[in-house]
Amino acid sequence: MTDRPVTDRIELSQPDDWHLHLRDGAMLAAVAPASARHFGRALVMPNLVPPVVTTRDAVAYRRRIMAALPQGTSFTPLMTLYLTEATNADDVAAAHAEGVATAIKLYPAGATTNSQSGVRDMEKVYPVLERMAAIGMPLCVHGEVTHPEVDIFDREAVFIASVLEPLRRRLPELKIVLEHVTTRDGIDYVRSADRNLAATLTVHHLFINRNAMFAGGLRPHYYCLPVAKREVHRLALRAAAVSGEGRFFLGTDSAPHADAAKEAACGCAGIFTAPNALACLARAFDEEGALDRLEAFASLNGAAWYGLAPNERKVRLVRRPAPVAYPGRIETDDGPVTVFDPMLPLHWEVER
């Protein structure tokens, strides 16, 4: 029992998702409505096959996304370009100036799903990074090293020490987002920066630690990259999310894969949270007694960091007495896709 007053309804500026995988083709058509229903804007990841590398690619992909949205939605996809060792600094600057790309995404080659075209040698991308620093264009980083000799649970910490810190020393003016941070070390590092560093946090990393992947057997729907870590890390992520600090904001990393691709001998990394992301978040903030800071995390901090106004539209979240039934999976022409199961009842619902 607590004597905290019970809040049953909160209103906030419509949230944005600062890290989202919308895919392409049949999968795009099936998953885009789930994000468009709840979020005002989303920063769309470029790791298609082939990746979204040039301004032209981003314009074409944005058009396909708009075509996949239900009539009458006001959802705005904000595009990213996939940084390769051949990326052209002028093209990046033009994409920024024309408002086609909001950020550039750095995937260390081999770090995650569809990252084979990513960066092997950071020296090769410095001309692009220097230009980005000069024009104020943010870099979003998948913060994991890929060397096979580094334990998978240490890859984020090693990336921070061996790649991120040298990069920030060399280019302190570059705005960087450490995406889907999963460790206490990452949180501490982001907090230690005097400026130009922020982090996104996913929904699922606020709920699961690494045990979820092995609970009674191998559970592929809890496998994502960066992989969930120990409980101390999950608790540090929660504390950062509810802190209200402007440098931490929501990026769901909702990453759908057909069940057949996940339930396989070599299953894909990625957790699909778009349909129940806000319901899960409300539960997490409620548990932490921090519902009054949900708006900062989900709707205000990210927009401010990207230099945008919050969405004008408001959404209301309502706590229902009985658990709300969210679909366990959605059907797509590529087969069913399992939705994230937080293993706890969800009582919150977006009121419409």
Instruction: Check residue 30 for interaction with ligand NCD (CB under 6 A).
Output: no
Q: Which class for 322: exposed (0-12), middle (13-18), buried (19 or more C-beta within 10 A)?
A: exposed
Cα(113)–Cα(48) distance, rounded to whole angstroms? Answer: 9
Cα(311)–Cα(262) distance, rounded to whole angstroms? Answer: 35
Q: Smallest distance, Å, CB 113 to ligand NCD?
A: 3
Instruction: Choose the one of Zn ion, ligand NCD, none that binds residue 102, judging by a C-beta under 5 to 8 angstroms depending on kind.
Output: none
Instruction: Check residue 48 for interaction with ligand NCD (CB under 6 A).
Output: no
Which residue lies nearer to Zn ion by CB, 253 or 341? Answer: 253
C-alpha pair distances (Å), 196 with each of 92, 127, 213, 301, 326: 19, 19, 34, 14, 38
Instruction: Check residue 44 for interaction with ligand NCD (CB under 6 A).
Output: no
Cα(139)–Cα(176) distance, rounded to whole angstroms? Answer: 5
Instruction: Check residue 252 for interaction with ligand NCD (CB under 6 A).
Output: no
Between residue 67 and residue 106, which ones bind Zn ion under the rule CB under 5 A? none
Instruction: Check residue 270 for interaction with ligand NCD (CB under 6 A).
Output: yes
Instruction: Check residue 65 for interaction with ligand NCD (CB under 6 A).
Output: no
Amino acid (one-letter) located at 50: P
**Cβ–Cβ contacts within 10 Å for residue 59, how many?**
15
- Look up residue 245 and give its two tokens: 């600090």
User: How many residues contact ligand NCD, by CB under 6 A?
Assistant: 11
Between residue 208 and residue 267, which ones bind Zn ion under the rule CB under 5 A? 253
Q: Smallest distance, Å, CB 256 to ligand NCD?
A: 8
The only residue of 253, 286, 295, 341 in contact with ligand NCD, by rule CB under 6 A: 253
Instruction: Check residue 103 for interaction with ligand NCD (CB under 6 A).
Output: no
The only residue of 47, 55, 196, 311 in contact with ligand NCD, by rule CB under 6 A: 47
Instruction: Check residue 21 for interaction with ligand NCD (CB under 6 A).
Output: yes
Q: Smallest distance, Å, CB 257 to ligand NCD?
A: 6
The only residue of 36, 203, 240, 255 in contact with ligand NCD, by rule CB under 6 A: 255
Which residue lies nearer to Zn ion by CB, 156 or 253? Answer: 253
Helix runs in the chain, H state only: 25-38, 55-68, 89-97, 126-135, 155-159, 165-170, 184-192, 231-242, 259-262, 277-287, 294-295, 301-305
Cα(301)–Cα(311) distance, rounded to whole angstroms? Answer: 12
Residues marked as catalytic: 253
Instruction: Check residue 112 for interaction with ligand NCD (CB under 6 A).
Output: yes
Strand partners, 314: 13
Q: Which residues of 167-199 are buried (b: 16+ CB within 10 A; e: fewer)?
A: bbeebeebbbbbbbbbbbbbbebbeebeebbbb
Which residue lies nearer to ligand NCD by CB, 21 or 247? Answer: 21
Q: Smallest distance, Å, CB 217 to Zn ion?
A: 26
Q: Smallest distance, Å, CB 274 to Zn ion?
A: 12
CA-closest candidate to residue 238, choices 215, 213, 214, 209:
209
Q: Smallest distance, Å, CB 270 to ligand NCD?
A: 3
Instruction: Check residue 16 for interaction with Zn ion (CB under 5 A).
Output: no
Q: What sign has the CA pseudo-torsion 147, 49, 45, 330?
A: negative
Instruction: Choose the one of ligand NCD, Zn ion, none that binds residue 164, judging by a C-beta under 5 to 8 angstroms depending on kind.
Output: none
Q: Smallest distance, Å, CB 23 to Zn ion?
A: 11
- Which residues form the interface with Zn ion (CB under 5 A)? 253
- Which residues form the interface with ligand NCD (CB under 6 A)? 21, 47, 112-113, 142, 224-225, 253, 255, 269-270
